[in-house]
Structure 1
Amino acid sequence: MSYQKGVSELKKMRYKSILLSLLAGVSLFLLAGCTSVKQRANTTDTWPKIAQRQRVVVGLDDSFVPMGFREKSGKLVGYDIDLARAVFKLYGIKVDFQTIDWSMKETELRNGTIDLIWNGYTKNPARERTVAFSDTYLKNRQILVTKKAAGIKQAAKMQGKTLGVQSGSSGYESFEDSPQYLKKYVKHTVQYSTFNDAFLDLNAGRIQGLLIDSVYADYYIKHQPDASSYRKLVIGFPTEDFAVGMRKGDVTLRKKINRGLKVLAKNGTLAKINQKWFGSSK
């Protein structure tokens, strides 16, 4: 190789190195910018925007009876539907309900696709690290549902059996975090996007047990033609608190919801909603 050609090659290598460095810098700048935007979104109080547009967007799993689900006609109904509308009616705000993948609920909230997670959403320490919660408005518990024909009358009878759980649910988190109640017995788990799908497999014998919210199980089984064929087992999981989830920055929104819940409890609206969906004032 000639001296001149060698110099030329060396210049090309230097230019290439500089170009790659510039591209890397731009990428890091853009990434930092996106991260900064997301961080600002999660620390911003969005109530002024909500009040201005007079709309708030609630994310939900629209198959979670009786909290939020669709009737055969396609109409969205449920306990949380009534409660959310009643709270925001106090402020002249319309509620838009957005169906989401439940396993992606926190991501949807962080990205600003929704303003609230209001759908039988359990408050727990893991979620409180990234989500702000309203006051508790309803109690729940994780229970084991089986078919009586399977002969499973206690958690230990799930030894070697297959259990159904919902992806991203508090039930799945409890199953993993507290193995002494059920996990130590179960041989296999199947994750479902909805409890409706899980019940189909339970009824067909493809799974032998289903870990599920008691509010869902009570309502679903009550409305089945063969309700007596199911067994509901309380197996030790502690009670849970249902609350509304929102971004950390939404301090005003949180105050408005908490105040609204108190007003509804005082004026009797909450008792009426409880009676409608649970047959009692809870």
Structure 2
Amino acid sequence: MKKKILLLLSLLFVLVGLTGCKSITKSANSEDTWNKISRKKEVVVGLDDSFVPMGFSKKNGQLAGYDIDLAREVFKRYGIKVSFQTIDWSMNATELRNGTIDLIWNGYSITDQRKKKVAFSRPYLRNGQVLVVKKNSGIHDFAQMKDKTLGMQTGSTAEQWYESKQKVLKAKSTVLYDQIPNSFLDLNAGRIQGILLDEVYANYYIAHMAKSSDYRVIENKAVPADLFAVGIRKGDKTLRKKINASLLALQKDGKLEQLNEKWFNRKSNYLGK
């Protein structure tokens, strides 16, 4: 009898714990946290610190990048400090929901799949997905990957697009990576024959490589363009309004355009509307 009572009590504790966890998660995802952030004067941004040129760690360990600069400019208008938290990119929505971070801000593209879990700010940058191969591979278009191995980052827009019903790119097999630099190591070693990734990353990363001429960046008009925006909890309506207002002000005063010139040496990625 005692054993049965103990078993029932154990089950009750488990159920109560699960219910509590669900309530906490639901609350964290639905709460408007602007008052807490403004009182604390700090907001936490989650990022993959290897994603050049949006947010990355330099050799001295300091963070730099387009989104680093932009986030600081956005919250400087409200007197709020931005703290950056490195996360497992494949778990970004979970980290946001759990309250580990307040925002996902690191070359984060708006997709229908992501809209189910997070809210988005107004977009601020155009982007697209490209295929990177070695020039000596003989590969000149997406179709030539049909009997090859393709690399992508786990949880990336590239992976989401590839796994959709698109018919433009179908490789023989795929390999997923936690960070994109690891895929370049495998590309150089011949373990994969192509990498599907963000255009902004590909162009910047290759331009800063010692043997940049060894690579070919392949575009395809059938691949839809995507837009970078800030990922926000759905309950954070005030935070979303504050970010949107600041982004609009930065666009009007030319600061967004200056950031494009600084990080891309061009204005073509600038959203402009």
TM-score by length of 1: 0.92
Shift of residue 55, structure 1, vs aligned partner: 0.4
Shift of residue 246, structure 1, vs aligned partner: 1.1
1:270 to 229, 244, 256: 256
1:228 to 213, 235, 247: 213
Name 1:253's counterpart in structure 2.
239
Same amino acid, percent of matched pairs: 57
SS of alignment partner, residue 92 of structure 1: coil
* Alpha-carbon separation, structure 2, partners of 1:43 and 1:252: 12
SS of alignment partner, residue 72 of structure 1: coil
TM-score by length of 2: 0.95
SS of alignment partner, residue 123 of structure 1: coil
Shift of residue 179, structure 1, vs aligned partner: 4.0
* Alpha-carbon separation, structure 2, partners of 1:223 and 1:195: 15
Name 1:8's counterpart in structure 2.
none
1:65 to 26, 35, 52: 52
* Alpha-carbon separation, structure 2, partners of 1:150 and 1:16: 68
Any gaps of 5 or more consecutive residues in structure 2? none
SS of alignment partner, residue 39 of structure 1: helix
Shift of residue 120, structure 1, vs aligned partner: 0.3
Name 2:177's counterpart in structure 1.
192
**Which has the larger Rg?**
1
Shift of residue 77, structure 1, vs aligned partner: 0.3
Name 2:152's counterpart in structure 1.
165
For each residue in 1:242-271, what CA deviation from the matched residue of structure 2 results, as whole angstroms up to 9, or x when unmatched?
A: 110011110000000000000001111111
Name 1:153's counterpart in structure 2.
140
Shift of residue 20, structure 1, vs aligned partner: 2.3
SS of alignment partner, residue 114 of structure 1: coil
Name 2:43's counterpart in structure 1.
56
SS of alignment partner, residue 80 of structure 1: helix
2:228 to 226, 242, 257: 242
* Alpha-carbon separation, structure 2, partners of 1:85 and 1:22: 50
> Aligned AA for 1:79?
Y
1:214 to 191, 196, 199: 199
CA RMSD between the two structures? 1.1
